[in-house]
């Protein structure tokens, strides 16, 4: 399992690429399977007669909840579309940055074409900027501030840190640290994200589609039109 990485003389980068990542992946897998499994098992028996088609209701909600509701569109347009922007940008950076693809290739055993560095850099800067704006908005808007929990801030931080350290590593803004140290911090930030992922709001990455479906299906069964 070590594949040639040994504790003796281990640098921070070796630690990040090896033991830290292995433990983070293990915690991530345990956490995600546990939460998904528990949700699937925790099924309440509903004895009432269904008042609508549950599957159709669930499928419809998957689509309708992906756009801002018409009545609220004016107020939440910025939040909604900036959310889309940084998520799409994040996935492009994550999947089409060459070093990132090679990381996944090491796990999956196959690779795919990637983008030149300039695109990845621009999109990373864009993502980082949007994340900062959204945080500022969360803190400055009294309503958003009121409904925000510690989980929101931790999850924001976990999403932000890989972009910050990734940009620092690529752009060599290292504050006196060596390149490999910043690269190690970048990988460690991913480890941190993986550990936090199942236990905080980042889990929405897995839950978003099933939960939207489930809400839609439950509403349809009860005859709610939402």
Taking the complex as a whole, the smallest distance from the CB of residue 81 to another protein amounts, in Å, to 29
Residue among 63, 76, 91, 80 nearest 159 (CA): 91
Please report how close the Cβ of residue 226 comes to another protein at its closest, in angstroms: 26
Contact indicator for 13, 187 with CB cutoff of 8 Å:
yes
Is 108 a residue that touches another protein (CB under 8 A)? no
Among 118, 143, 146, 176, binds another protein (CB under 8 A): 118
Select the residue interacting with another protein from 53, 76, 88, 102 (CB under 8 A).
102
DSSP 53: -
Minimal distance, residue 200 CB to another protein, in Å = 16
Q: Which is nearer to another protein, 83 or 99 (CB)?
A: 99
Compute how many residues bind another protein; rule: CB under 8 A.
Answer: 50
Stated as kind and residue range, the H or E segment containing 222 is: helix 204-222
Q: Which residue among 74, 107, 175, 176 contacts another protein (CB under 8 A)?
A: 107
Do 206 and 34 form a contact (C-beta atoms < 8 A)? Answer: no
Q: Is 127 exposed, middle or buried, given 0-12, 13-18 or 19+ CB atoms closer than 10 A?
A: buried
Compare residues 117 and 141 and give the one whose CB is closer to another protein: 117
How far apart are alpha carbons 164 and 162 in whole angstroms? 6
Per-position x/- string for 30-69, each x denoting binding to another protein as judged by CB under 8 A, each - no binding: xxxxxxxxx-xxx-x-------------------------
CA atoms of 16 and 5, how far apart (whole Å): 11
Residue owning tokens 């983070």 = 24
Enumerate binding residues for another protein (CB under 8 A): 1-6, 8-11, 13-14, 16-18, 21-22, 25-26, 29-38, 40-42, 44, 98-100, 102-103, 105-107, 114-118, 179-180, 183, 187
């Amino acid at each position: 399992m070590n594949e040639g990485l040994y504790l003796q003389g281990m640098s921070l980068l070796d630690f990040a690429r090896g033991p830290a990542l292995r433990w983070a992946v293990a915690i991530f897998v345990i956490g995600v399977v546990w939460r998904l499994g528990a949700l699937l098992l925790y099924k309440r028996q509903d004895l009432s007669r269904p008042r609508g088609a549950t599957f159709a209701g669930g499928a419809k909600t998957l689509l309708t909840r992906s756009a801002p509701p018409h009545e609220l569109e004016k107020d939440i347009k910025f939040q909604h579309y900036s959310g889309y922007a940084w998520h799409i940008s994040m996935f492009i950076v994550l999947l089409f940055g060459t070093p990132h693809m090679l990381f996944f290739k090491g796990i999956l055993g196959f690779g795919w074409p990637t983008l030149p560095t300039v695109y990845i850099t621009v999109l990373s800067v864009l993502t980082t900027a949007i994340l900062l704006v959204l945080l500022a908005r969360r803190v400055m808007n009294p309503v958003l501030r009121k409904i925000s929990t510690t989980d929101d801030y931790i999850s924001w931080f976990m999403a932000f840190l890989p972009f910050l350290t990734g940009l620092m590593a690529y752009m060599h803004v290292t504050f006196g640290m060596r390149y490999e140290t910043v690269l190690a911090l970048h990988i460690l930030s991913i480890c941190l994200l993986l550990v936090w992922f199942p236990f905080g709001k980042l889990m929405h990455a897995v839950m978003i589609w099933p939960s939207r479906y489930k809400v839609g299906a439950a509403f349809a069964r009860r005859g709610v039109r939402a």
